[in-house]
């Protein structure tokens, strides 16, 4: 009996502690949800009366004073385009580079690998002004594709590093067999190895999508015209104008922005949790 | 060595293939738009992009140009010009710095809106940076000159940098001190006393000190929750008080900014007094939210409010009041009064400040003549008065001031006299650095971090480091 | 063996340049796009920033060379001291939450809670802040800390301790920034450490419990020794991330009030983008770049290049 108490007491204590520290997070997100479907809240979190009015941005225009906001759907499309392109580009480029770094021996490889580590530690955001000039020079300013390239470049060292680990695990014999069958390097990469490292590809893709979907600072700085706004920029403007005016509207828009992330996260949760040191920004 | 370059080039080339592949989506979209607009054979449709900044009730700054485009198109048709103007608008209400910054970056990349509405005080920066067109020729001798002839000369002055015109006045305003009549009544003021207050302020009989005392009384007796509100972020309102304390910030003769220690310290001392000594404003005033301030004011929790004439329009357009929503003008006349900013000492001169807005034309625009024509047409009284009446601004020309709709507007009529007491901010490219540092100094004294002496020393050192071209006077 | 091959390869490389390029050319289709992006968006900006820091670039966006003026100005700037102190406070305290609290969470969810699904549930909850786009995460905080009586924290402190509404962000800007960032970082620590705990061979735990070791003993003598490297790694890694990131601070307090939560990277952003002192902002960035490189090199030295890259199987 005493033995059991000795085992259980710390367990119960740990549970209580966990619940206590996790509660604020749960409350905050519950709050977001409640205020999006209700006009008034009880105890700050529970909905009192149900309304869809806060979600009106989905089917009608949002107006404040005489000012009309952008329609949400083109903005959403931009966000999908941005996150989608980032995912595709990042996966393809990191798969190519990861393969070379893991399975090939070439001049300069050591330098590239070393710099890849240092690069991830590099203050990309601190170079904002210079990035402006680069984008301007190659004519990709105020274009979503420009933000895509900057973001991909910033995430690339980490993604490559991560994917290289998967290539490293892949048995050399199988690849060797492919070459004996007359495959070129590229064919071996594409036909034999890639299908085998799907979990790695999935992990890189998930991180890339999440990073792209949440991207804020570059879109905010490098996209000028309202037709190129992404959800993050749109929401930032909405917050500026509505923060003390219409909490419900903000909550609904915020939730709208958050839904894909949550869905994506829940689907990929298990594989995400297994990643060690993997491509997360801190 | 050559080989390295060769390798590099192949990489670049192979990459540029990928790039063009990705860029296609956008290009086709653009092309689609162009072919859409250019399908009629003879007539050329020209899209002019307009962006403006202001409260959500000020979007007429953009939409007026949209309406004027129709009139302009008729004029163009009559004179056989086969170009037609279509206006695309974007009215921004959050973040004036970002509004300008985005334009500057867009301009450097060869783009940016064709026409923008900006504060006159940014003309210097925009002109010196080569972002906007010099307009003297258009204003003085072009076929469109007649539309802008009778704009008030003092507004033209505000549009100049180095004696050249860079902007066309869009509107002007005054920044009155609002007071709640209902709160004064609770303090036992009679209707006569209340309606005499603006006059007393005008004559210098009611001073800043009286105002603070009154605010303290209202808070103490529970008639008001808070004595005074001022804007929560950096802006021209604080400059008003420097002028009120007799300060000068700019030397016209040398074209240099001046830092006069005494009036600036007096101003800082004023904010220190009301926040830390008399406690009639929240010490965290400078980190409050606009919406919260407006809500508190329209709901009658605050006795005095350093506002602007445009707020009169804004309160009738935006739902700040949690019960009444948009205010009716009647409610406002019943409960709110407006006056100049009181003088600091008995018999002194009260002030207000105007910050005229200007339309400026992007140097990158392909159609400067049409852009100017559009602005010129929109400067006519019918557009200008509409904006003035709807948003609580003052008109730009004597013709507009004669307009019946404008004359009948009681509020605008009431505040017109303030222009005799008005001041403007200097047009200097580095003045923005002064205002932002000055705002921080005000924040410091209000929060009680610094006393006025420390704050003025901090400010002086900061400006010596930040601003290249400033004369310091003790 | 591969090592030797590589060394030999290197020696050959010096002698036989054409062969080097041939090997590089075969790898080029694979490594090319990677290199191009890195050159375009890392190396070029760094060089540009270096050059820009030697100019007085302002709102005109012109490259007006001014030598070391910006660095001298930085030396005399009265805000620098406060900004450095803020940055140190921010990095150190956020690190404590990231690593320390992340470690506690990992132990709780990965060791104490035996039911894997329950552990996963808590981990999911803690991953939420990280997954949430910064704009919304900041918005949630702004609501939580709303200075009026509708703010969640004010409701709580009002109901529990009968306190008047407080302006939390105004009174404790650094605290808010640290906790908000810490909650995001803690989840990374949690995931990494709990994965490390899971990888500890089960024999160790069994042997320990046969010996009658308490939970505390197990944590001290089994888990912590195993987690030594991950913890060190996380610490350095997060230090790097923290000194360079400012997105959340920008959205939450914007460095205010009165520079009280202004950190080095945000300082550079403000100078460049609010004051239009692009040259000066670049000079401030350069300092950051140098610090980041130093830390990265320390990290490389500490963990060893080999260990970090877990060198793959190379056969040529």
CATH number of the domain enclosing A142: 1.10.3720.10
Q: How close is the nearest chain C Cα to the Cα of B376, in Å?
A: 28
Distance CA C20, CA A9 (A): 65
The pair of three-digit structure tokens given for residue A44, joined into one six-digit string: 């700050």
Q: How close is the nearest chain B Cα to the Cα of C243, in Å?
A: 24
Contacts of A75 in chain B (CB under 8 A): none
Q: How close is the nearest chain C Cα to the Cα of A192, in Å?
A: 16
Does the beta carbon of C143 lie under 8 angstroms from any beta carbon of chain B? no
| Claim to verify: residue A142 and residue A241 sit in the same structural domain | yes
Q: How close is the nearest chain A Cα to the Cα of B109, in Å?
A: 6
Q: How close is the nearest chain B Cα to the Cα of A181, in Å?
A: 29
The pair of three-digit structure tokens given for residue C249, joined into one six-digit string: 């601070």
| Claim to verify: residue A17 and residue A75 sit in the same structural domain | no
Contacts of A2 in chain C (CB under 8 A): none
Q: Do C244 and A149 touch (CB under 8 A)?
A: no
pLDDT band for position C187 (50/70/90)? confident
Does the beta carbon of C35 lie under 8 angstroms from any beta carbon of chain B? yes
| Claim to verify: residue A244 and residue A211 sit in the same structural domain | yes
CB C196 within 8 A of CB A276: yes
Specify the CATH superfamily of domain B177-354+427-472.
Periplasmic binding protein-like II (3.40.190.10)
Contacts of B427 in chain C (CB under 8 A): none
Q: Is B177-354+427-472 in the same CATH topology as B44-172+355-424?
A: yes
Chain B, nearest residue to C72 by Cα:
B465
- Torsions phi, psi of A52, nearest 5? -100, 5
| Residue of A104, A121, A165 lying closest to C240 (CB–CB) | A121
- The residues facing B259 across adjacent strands are B472
Does domain B44-172+355-424 sit in CATH 3.40.190.10? yes
Distance CA B68, CA A154 (A): 46
Q: Do B443 and C256 touch (CB under 8 A)?
A: yes
From first CA to last CA, the distance across chain C in angstroms is 12
Q: What is the mean pLDDT of residues A239-268?
A: 79
| Claim to verify: residue A75 and residue A45 sit in the same structural domain | no
For residue A61, tell me if it sits in a domain. Answer: no
Q: How close is the nearest chain C Cα to the Cα of B433, in Å?
A: 6
Q: What SS3 class is residue B164?
A: strand
| Claim to verify: residue A202 and residue A73 sit in the same structural domain | yes
Distance CA A101, CA A164 (A): 7
| Claim to verify: residue A174 and residue A96 sit in the same structural domain | yes
Alpha-helix residue ranges (DSSP H) falling in B38-186: 60-78, 96-108, 123-128, 136-140, 145-148, 153-158, 181-186
Q: How far is CA B124 from the centre of its chain?
A: 15
**pLDDT of C316 higher than 50:** no
| Residue of B12, B104, B465 lying closest to C61 (CB–CB) | B104
The total domain count for chain A is 2
Q: Which residues of chain B have pLDDT under 50?
A: 1-40
- Torsions phi, psi of B326, nearest 5? -70, 140
pLDDT digits (tens, 9 = 90+) for C188-231: 888 888 878 887 888 888 888 888 888 888 888 888 888 887 88
Q: Do B56 and A245 touch (CB under 8 A)?
A: no
Distance CA A159, CA B91 (A): 40
Does the beta carbon of A70 lie under 8 angstroms from any beta carbon of chain B? no
Which residues, in sequence order, are CB contacts of C188 under 8 Å at separation 6+?
A: A280, A282, C98, C102, C130, C234, C238
Q: What pLDDT score was predicted for residue A1?
A: 58
Alpha-helix residue ranges (DSSP H) falling in B257-308: 261-272, 290-298
Q: How many contacts (CB atoms, under 8 Å) link A and C?
A: 295
Closest to C54 (Cα-Cα) out of C46, C43, C44, C64: C64
| Residue of C13, C122, C246 lying closest to A107 (CB–CB) | C13
Chain B, nearest residue to A130 by Cα:
B105
Chain B, nearest residue to C80 by Cα:
B462
| Claim to verify: residue A121 and residue A214 sit in the same structural domain | yes
Does the beta carbon of A156 lie under 8 angstroms from any beta carbon of chain B? no
| Claim to verify: residue A128 and residue A236 sit in the same structural domain | yes
**pLDDT of C156 higher than 60:** yes
Chain A, nearest residue to C36 by Cα:
A153
Which residues, in sequence order, are CB contacts of B433 under 8 Å at separation 6+?
A: B463, B466, B467, C275
Lowest mean pLDDT among A56-60, A108-112, A276-280, B13-17: A276-280
Contacts of C183 in chain A (CB under 8 A): 25
| Claim to verify: residue A86 and residue A44 sit in the same structural domain | no
Contacts of A97 in chain B (CB under 8 A): none
Q: What is the mean pLDDT of residues A42-51?
A: 70
Which residues, in sequence order, are CB contacts of B4 under 8 Å at separation 6+?
A: none
Contacts of A226 in chain B (CB under 8 A): 90
Closest to A263 (Cα-Cα) out of A255, A251, A273: A255
Q: What SS3 class is residue A42?
A: strand
For B154, other C-beta atoms within 10 Å of its C-beta total 14
Number of residues that make up chain B: 474
For residue A279, tell me if it sits in a domain. Answer: no
* Better-scored residue on pLDDT, A169 or A17: A17
Average pLDDT over all residues of chain A: 82
For residue A98, tell me if it sits in a domain. Answer: yes
Q: Do C32 and B11 touch (CB under 8 A)?
A: yes
| Residue of C30, C127, C272 lying closest to A129 (CB–CB) | C272
Contacts of C296 in chain A (CB under 8 A): 117-118, 121-122
- Torsions phi, psi of A40, nearest 5? -125, 155
Q: Do B443 and C257 touch (CB under 8 A)?
A: yes
For residue A204, tell me if it sits in a domain. Answer: yes
Distance CA C309, CA A274 (A): 19
Contacts of B433 in chain C (CB under 8 A): 275
For residue A59, tell me if it sits in a domain. Answer: no
For residue A210, tell me if it sits in a domain. Answer: yes
Q: Tell me how many degrees the CA angle B97-B309-B229 measures, rounded to the nearest 5.
A: 75
- Torsions phi, psi of C263, nearest 5? -110, 170
| Claim to verify: residue A21 and residue A103 sit in the same structural domain | no
What are the sequence ranges of the domains in chain B?
44-172+355-424, 177-354+427-472
Reported in sequence order, the residue ranges of chain A that DSSP labels E, i.e. its strands, are 41-42, 46-47, 63-64, 67-68
Q: What pLDDT score was predicted for residue C155?
A: 81
Q: What is the mean pLDDT of residues C234-239?
A: 84
Average pLDDT over all residues of chain C: 84
Q: Do C274 and B97 touch (CB under 8 A)?
A: yes
Q: What pLDDT score was predicted for residue C168?
A: 86
Q: What pLDDT score was predicted for residue C12?
A: 55
Strand B256-260 versus strand B250-251 pairing type: antiparallel
- The residues facing B260 across adjacent strands are B473
Q: What SS3 class is residue C31?
A: helix
Structural domain boundaries enclosing A257: 67-274
- Chain position carrying tokens 């010196």: B128
Q: What pLDDT score was predicted for residue A14?
A: 84
CB A237 within 8 A of CB C111: no
The pair of three-digit structure tokens given for residue B302, joined into one six-digit string: 């605050």
- Chain position carrying tokens 């070459």: A179
Q: What pLDDT score was predicted for residue B17?
A: 40
Instruction: Indicate the burial class of A3 (C-beta count within 10 angstroms; 0-12, 13-18, 19 or more).
Output: exposed
Lowest mean pLDDT among B285-299, C49-63, C296-310: C296-310
| Residue of B22, B103, B314 lying closest to A65 (CB–CB) | B314
| Claim to verify: residue A92 and residue A30 sit in the same structural domain | no
Reported in sequence order, the residue ranges of A65-151 that DSSP labels E, i.e. its strands, are 67-68
Q: Do B56 and A241 touch (CB under 8 A)?
A: yes
Q: Do C31 and A100 touch (CB under 8 A)?
A: yes
| Claim to verify: residue A159 and residue A203 sit in the same structural domain | yes
**pLDDT of C9 higher than 80:** no
Q: What SS3 class is residue A132?
A: helix
Chain C, nearest residue to B10 by Cα:
C32
Q: What pLDDT score was predicted for residue A9?
A: 77
B3, B13, B102, B287, best to mutate vs chain C, most C CBs in 10 Å? B287
């Amino acid at each position: 009996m005493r033995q059991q108490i000795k085992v259980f007491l710390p367990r119960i204590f740990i549970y209580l502690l966990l619940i206590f520290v996790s509660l604020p997070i749960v409350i905050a997100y519950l709050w977001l949800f409640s205020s999006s479907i209700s006009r008034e809240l009880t105890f700050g979190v529970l909905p009192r009366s149900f309304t869809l009015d806060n979600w009106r941005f989905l089917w009608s225009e949002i107006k404040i004073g005489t000012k009309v906001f952008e329609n949400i759907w083109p903005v959403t499309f931009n966000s999908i385009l941005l996150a989608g392109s980032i995912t595709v580009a990042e996966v393809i480029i990191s798969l190519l580079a990861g393969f070379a770094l893991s399975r090939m021996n070439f001049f300069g490889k050591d330098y590239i690998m070393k710099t890849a580590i240092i690069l991830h530690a590099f203050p990309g955001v601190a170079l904002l002004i210079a990035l402006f000039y680069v984008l301007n020079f190659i004519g990709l300013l105020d274009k979503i594709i420009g933000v895509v390239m900057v973001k991909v470049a910033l995430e690339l060292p980490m993604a490559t590093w991560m994917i290289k680990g998967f290539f490293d695990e892949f048995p050399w014999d199988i690849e060797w067999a492919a070459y004996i069958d007359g495959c070129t390097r590229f064919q071996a990469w594409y036909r034999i190895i890639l299908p085998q490292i799907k979990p790695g590809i999935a992990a890189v893709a998930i991180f890339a999508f999440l990073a792209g979907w949440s991207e804020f600072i570059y879109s905010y700085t490098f996209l000028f015209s309202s037709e190129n706004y992404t959800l993050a920029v749109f929401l930032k403007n909405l917050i500026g104008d509505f923060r003390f005016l219409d909490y419900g509207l903000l909550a609904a828009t915020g939730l709208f922005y958050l839904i894909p992330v949550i869905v994506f996260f829940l689907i990929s949760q298990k594989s995400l949790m297994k990643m060690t040191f993997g491509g997360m920004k801190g | 060595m050559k080989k390295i370059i060769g390798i590099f080039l192949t990489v670049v080339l192979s990459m540029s293939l990928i790039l063009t592949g990705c860029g296609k989506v956008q290009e086709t979209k653009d092309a689609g738009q162009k072919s859409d607009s250019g399908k009629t054979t003879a007539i050329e449709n020209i899209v002019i992009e307009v962006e403006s900044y202001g409260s959500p009730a000020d979007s007429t700054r953009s939409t007026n140009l949209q309406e004027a485009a129709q009139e302009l198109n008729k004029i163009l048709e009559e004179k056989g010009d086969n170009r037609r103007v279509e206006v695309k608008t974007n009215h921004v209400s959050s973040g004036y710095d970002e509004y300008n910054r985005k334009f500057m970056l867009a301009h450097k990349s060869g783009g940016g809106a064709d026409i923008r509405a900006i504060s006159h005080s940014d003309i210097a920066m925009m002109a010196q940076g080569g972002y906007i067109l010099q307009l003297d020729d258009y204003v003085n001798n072009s076929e469109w000159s007649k539309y802008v002839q009778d704009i008030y000369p003092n507004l033209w002055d505000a549009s100049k940098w180095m004696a050249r015109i860079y902007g066309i006045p869009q509107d002007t305003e005054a920044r009155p001190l609002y007071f709640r009549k209902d709160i004064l009544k609770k303090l036992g003021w009679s209707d006569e006393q209340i309606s005499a207050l603006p006059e007393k302020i005008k004559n210098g009989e009611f001073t800043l000190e009286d105002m603070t005392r009154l605010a303290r009384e209202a808070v103490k007796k529970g008639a008001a929750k808070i004595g005074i509100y001022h804007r929560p972020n950096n802006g021209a309102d604080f400059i008003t008080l420097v002028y009120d304390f007799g300060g000068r910030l700019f030397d016209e003769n040398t074209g240099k900014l001046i830092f006069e220690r005494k009036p600036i310290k007096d101003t800082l001392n004023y904010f220190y007094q009301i926040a830390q000594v008399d406690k009639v404003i929240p010490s965290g005033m400078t980190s409050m939210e606009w919406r919260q301030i407006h809500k508190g004011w329209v709901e009658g929790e605050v006795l005095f409010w350093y506002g602007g004439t445009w707020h009169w329009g804004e309160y009738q357009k935006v739902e700040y009041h949690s019960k009444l929503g948009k205010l009716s003008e009647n409610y406002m006349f019943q409960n709110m009064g407006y006056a100049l900013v009181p003088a600091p000492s008995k018999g002194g001169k009260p002030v207000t400040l105007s910050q005229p807005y200007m339309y400026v034309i992007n140097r990158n625009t392909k159609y400067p003549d049409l852009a100017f024509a559009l602005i010129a047409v929109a400067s006519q009284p019918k557009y200008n008065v509409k904006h003035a009446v709807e948003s609580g601004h003052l008109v730009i020309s004597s013709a507009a001031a004669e307009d019946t709709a404008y004359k009948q507007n009681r509020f605008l009529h009431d505040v017109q006299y303030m222009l005799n007491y008005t001041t403007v901010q200097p047009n200097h490219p580095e003045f923005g650095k002064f205002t932002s540092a000055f705002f921080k100094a005000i924040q410091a004294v209000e929060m009680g971090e610094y006393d006025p002496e420390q704050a003025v020393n901090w400010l002086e050192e900061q400006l010596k480091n930040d601003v290249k071209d400033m004369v310091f006077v003790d | 063996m591969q090592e030797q091959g590589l060394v030999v390869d290197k020696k050959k490389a010096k002698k036989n340049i054409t062969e080097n390029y041939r090997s590089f050319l075969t790898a080029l289709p694979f490594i090319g796009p990677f290199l191009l992006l890195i050159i375009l968006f890392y190396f070029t900006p760094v060089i540009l920033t270096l050059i820009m820091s030697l100019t007085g670039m302002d709102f005109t966006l012109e490259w007006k060379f001014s030598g070391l003026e910006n660095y001298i100005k930085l030396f005399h700037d009265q805000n620098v001291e406060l900004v450095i102190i803020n940055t140190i406070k921010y990095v150190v305290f956020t690190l404590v939450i990231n690593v320390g609290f992340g470690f506690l969470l990992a132990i709780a969810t990965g060791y104490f809670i035996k039911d894997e699904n329950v552990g996963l549930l808590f981990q999911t909850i803690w991953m939420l802040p990280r997954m949430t786009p910064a704009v919304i995460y900041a918005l949630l905080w702004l609501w939580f800390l709303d200075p009026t009586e509708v703010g969640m924290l004010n409701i709580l402190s009002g109901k529990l301790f009968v306190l008047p509404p407080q302006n939390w962000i105004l009174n404790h800007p650094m605290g808010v920034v640290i906790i908000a960032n810490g909650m995001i970082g803690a989840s990374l620590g949690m995931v990494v450490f709990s994965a490390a705990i899971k990888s500890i061979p089960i024999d160790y735990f069994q042997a320990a419990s046969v010996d009658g070791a308490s939970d505390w003993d197990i944590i001290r003598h089994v888990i912590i020794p195993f987690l030594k490297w991950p913890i060190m790694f996380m610490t350095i890694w997060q230090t790097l991330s923290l000194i360079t990131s400012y997105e959340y601070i920008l959205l939450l307090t914007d460095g205010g009030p009165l520079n009280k939560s202004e950190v080095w990277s945000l300082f550079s952003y403000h100078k460049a983008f609010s004051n239009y002192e692009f040259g000066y902002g670049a000079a401030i960035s350069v300092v950051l770049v140098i610090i980041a490189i130093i830390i990265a090199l320390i990290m490389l030295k500490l963990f060893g290049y080999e260990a970090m890259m877990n060198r793959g199987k190379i056969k040529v």
